[in-house]
Amino acid sequence: MLLQTRRSRIPWTTLVLSAVTALVAAVISLLPPLGAPAAHAASAAQSRSDGGPGGPSESRPVYSYENAIRESVWVDTTIDGDADGRTDRVAVDIVRPREPAAQGRRVPVIMDASPYYSCCGRGNESQTKTYDAAGNPVQFPLFYDNYFVPRGYATVLVDLAGTNRSDGCVDVGGRSDILSAKAVVDWLNGRAAAYSARTGGERIKASWSNGATGMIGKSYDGTIANGVAATGVKGLKTIVPIGAISSWYDYYFAKGAALFGSGPDGLSAAVESDDAHARCAAVQKRLVEGAPRNGDWTGLWTDRTYVPAVDKVRASVFAVHGAQDLNVRTKHLGQWWNALADAGVERKIWLSQTGHVDPFDYRRGEWVRTLHRWFDHYLLGVDNGIEREPMADVERAPDQWSTDRVWPPSGTQQTTLRPRGGATAGVGVLGTERAGPGATETFTDDPALSEADWSAAIDTSTPGKAGFTTGPLEKDLRLSGSGTVTVTATPSTTSAHLSAVLVDLGPATIRDYTAAGEGITTLDRRTCWGSSTEGDSACFKETAADKEDVDYTVFSRGWADLGHSADDGKGRPLTPGKAYTITLDLAATDHVVPAGHRLGLIIAGTDAGLLEPPSTTPRLTLDLPRTSARLPLVGGAPKAAAAPSRTAATPPLKGVRAPHHRTPLPSMSTRG
């Protein structure tokens, strides 16, 4: 990926918001009453602190959380997803400060639309929504309400269609999911209807909302934020997707190779409510039929891929992801980020060393501070300069972070590296020179072996992989962004899967992303982030980095089904003895291979625990001159000492444990 310069198609917004903010103190007495139009930068003005000549610098906790208004409404989606003859209504639970409404002022909204509020919970402690005897909300999961409501924001939690207290059916990122959340943004802006009950009831207007909405959420929730932003809905000012999906096909498949043991029907069944399960059989059937396990592209996937609609995105984007997320892999981040950059969307990124973990659980204090400033800027119009600060924060080692003005950094360019044979079969060299004509390496797919097994034996000739390494690097080598590996291979059977893995060969201390906590350990003590009530505590368990000393680090990977080499979305049986060429997409990364370490490329078959095996057990012959890696290198190709010759087996290297068998969201992690 070439460097994406930091540009915006909406540069005037910051200037306008700054000017409005500076005038707030002078015009506060002129703010319109409830029910009249209001500029979003003027809302919650009295909750800000004095920022001096440049205007207010941040919102302050001046409103009562204990006395906040807690209410529920049901927004009409205009969709009849469950085909019961009436349009579906989704449950919307709200906590908002009482004082602005009493003063005739409107407030902005922080919104998390999720399917997990009753089935699975949110956050490290798997919190669910709770209600009092009258059905009014009591506990909101996570800290957003505790922290932001006293600062002049409303917090809105939406039960996606077919979940918890909502009508309709879960369709896993499809029209019902996205439009049910979009309808709430429309309601907050006066463009949709809501009612006081799931059926019947009086019509309710969001007269307390100024329409400025920010969506946030991890995993499925963040995916919904991506999808709603891609509709171009007016009023959605920013999104904060955390470990989010950008294409549901790429969640379940990698170029035809199945990544999980089931499709979207399994996830739908896990999150939908009991009554939805009884009425949504037709939707379940469509999910099964539209997502065949052979990995072929269908119309179902077209409707669940948000990247092509990125030109509609009006919102700024603060993307957060774990570089070692083996659930929602960073391919989702990479392709979404690149598309946002091409569309000129204002954006920011955090990339940690963790797996599928919320930043509240690995960088809590800095996360709350940064999120506060982000929402203040994009929802309240505070000119705090956050949009002019470094675009990227990247975790280099546990709890050690660096920043970049733009991401990928200046000087990043796609550079081609090539594998060549070595003195020992299956133990080759990685460099800039092309292998000689006719050079090959062979391996036999062993579905019991994982990337950990391959990496531990990269310097040893083993039948299950082909490994290629540079010599020790003369200086640090940084890879930043998304890469590809193009493989030409001849199979011995009618089906074959391929894996490509990048490895940093050298000692390091990393987060143990394959452990149960995916890089964190949960502690017994708690810290508090905002105000509490008897039913909703702002205090959460602290965490610490779960560290591991290793001899190697796998930092990017990609997979494909060789039968999908035609690149038309359809798989075909292979002809044994025929050569096929296919390009594997490597997950986005930002990793520094230090001087003295080696960079390794491994090409193998099934990556156990991550990839489902093919129907046969093929032996594959790699055509080395027609195999290469295009990697996003900062500063160009590596300078390496001569690769040492290896003629004898070497002791296995130590890494983190092999990835455990993955199942789709949400059951793979209790952290949501």
* Three-class DSSP labels, 384-437: CCHHHCCCEEEEEECCEEEEECCCCCCCEEEEEEEEEEEEECCEEEEECCCCCC
Cβ 139 vs Cβ 129: under 8 Å: yes
Cα separation, 117 vs 224, whole angstroms: 14
Query: Which one, of 55, 176, 183, 58, lies nearest residue 111 by Cα?
Result: 183
> What is the DSSP-derived secondary structure letter of residue 122?
B
Query: Which one, of 430, 383, 399, 446, lies nearest residue 598 by Cα?
Result: 430
Q: Which H/E stretch holds residue 540?
A: strand 539-545
CB atoms within 10 A of CB 320: 26
Which residues form the catalytic set? Answer: 219, 325, 356
> What is the DSSP-derived secondary structure letter of residue 48?
B
Cβ 42 vs Cβ 450: under 8 Å: no
Cα separation, 96 vs 238, whole angstroms: 19
Cβ 593 vs Cβ 599: under 8 Å: yes
Q: Where are the beta strands (DSSP E) in 183-325?
A: 194-195, 203-204, 209-218, 236-242, 253-254, 257-258, 316-322
Cα separation, 599 vs 468, whole angstroms: 8
291 CB burial (10 A radius; 0-12, 13-18, 19+): buried
